[in-house]
């Protein structure tokens, strides 16, 4: 008799967990509102890696692109999406990558070409041999992100030449802007734009706040530096009415296609 009662209890608990984790019942964000997806790396997980949520395996990323293409989504860079904000088609999506990891060239670009997609990559100018994770939390001192290979300037040139990638700014050193004085914050925001534009002979329109941490002062500095838009790490979708506080949908390397499709419907990671 105990087993008979346990079975429905287990089912109820499983359904409760499923509903709490995925929010499948939540209201769909209209497809007229664009989705901006947030990635970091496209590579296999590291055994015991602390940041494996930032690592989307290549086969998983390809499944996502394949589904987006099949489901009728149109790909834009962030700058394109911002310029066309008043006449974007339904199911518009921007793929964004933070920091500037080497796999953005070796693993991402071939799949962008295969599925006729585009992406925006936020580059940290001084990105080599730097463990910026400690700028947010001091105990994140394993050096795991520092050891991840970053894009070289020559590799960034290849991304620019592809015509599929927008190069954008993620500051000079991935500094926690909230902890910086105004002069330092201004230098990080303004000089990174200038350096990228001079080195790669491009116009840098887009910016990403490191760690998604910023103040009203930093928003004003981004606008004053001449950027057209800036993304945060706030979960959700934005209609571009406030282009300097754009929300994004986080994509985790620890979840499968069911969760990804739900994110595209609900406009958030659950």
> Above 80 in pLDDT, residue 6?
no
- Tell how far CA 129 is from the center of its chain: 22
What values do phi and psi take at 94, rounded to 5?
-120, 130
Rounded Cα gap, residues 70 and 68, in angstroms: 6
Lowest mean pLDDT among 62-76, 96-110, 122-136, 194-208: 122-136
Average model confidence (pLDDT) across the chain: 90
**Rounded mean pLDDT of 36-63?**
97
> Above 80 in pLDDT, residue 233?
yes
Per-residue pLDDT band for 27 (boundaries 50, 70, 90) equals: low
Q: What's the pLDDT tens digit per position in 137-189?
A: 665 567 899 999 999 999 999 999 999 999 999 999 999 999 999 999 999 99
What pLDDT shows up at residue 222?
98
Cβ(248)–Cβ(215) below 8 Å: no
What pLDDT shows up at residue 139?
56
> Above 50 in pLDDT, residue 195?
yes
> Above 70 in pLDDT, residue 102?
yes
CATH of range 2-266; options 3.80.10.10, 3.20.20.370, 3.40.50.720, 3.30.530.20: 3.20.20.370
> Above 90 in pLDDT, residue 236?
yes
**Rounded mean pLDDT of 105-134?**
94
């Amino acid at each position: 008799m105990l087993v008979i009662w346990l079975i429905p209890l287990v089912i109820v608990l499983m359904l409760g967990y499923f509903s709490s984790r995925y929010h499948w019942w939540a209201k769909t964000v209209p497809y007229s509102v664009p989705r901006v997806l947030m990635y970091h790396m496209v590579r296999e997980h590291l055994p015991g890696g602390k940041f494996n949520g930032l690592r989307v395996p290549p086969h998983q990323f390809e499944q996502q692109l394949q589904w987006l293409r099949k489901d009728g989504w149109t790909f834009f860079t962030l700058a394109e999406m911002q310029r066309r904000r008043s006449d974007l088609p339904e199911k518009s999506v921007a793929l964004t990558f933070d920091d500037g990891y080497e796999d953005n060239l070796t693993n991402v670009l071939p799949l962008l070409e295969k599925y006729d997609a585009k992406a925006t990559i936020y580059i940290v100018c001084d990105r080599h041999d730097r463990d910026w994770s400690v700028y947010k939390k001091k105990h994140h001192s394993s050096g795991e992100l520092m050891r991840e290979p970053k894009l070289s300037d020559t590799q960034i040139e290849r991304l620019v030449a592809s015509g599929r990638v927008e190069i954008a700014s993620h500051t000079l050193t991935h500094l926690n802007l909230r902890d910086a004085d105004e002069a330092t914050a201004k230098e990080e925001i303004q000089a990174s734009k200038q350096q990228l534009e001079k080195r790669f002979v491009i116009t840098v329109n887009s910016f990403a706040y490191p760690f998604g941490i910023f103040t009203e002062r930093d928003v004003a500095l981004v606008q004053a530096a001449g950027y057209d838009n800036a993304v945060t790490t706030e979960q959700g979708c934005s209609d571009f009415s406030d282009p300097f506080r754009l929300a994004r949908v986080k994509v985790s390397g620890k979840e499968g296609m069911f969760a990804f499709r739900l994110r595209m419907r609900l406009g958030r990671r659950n």
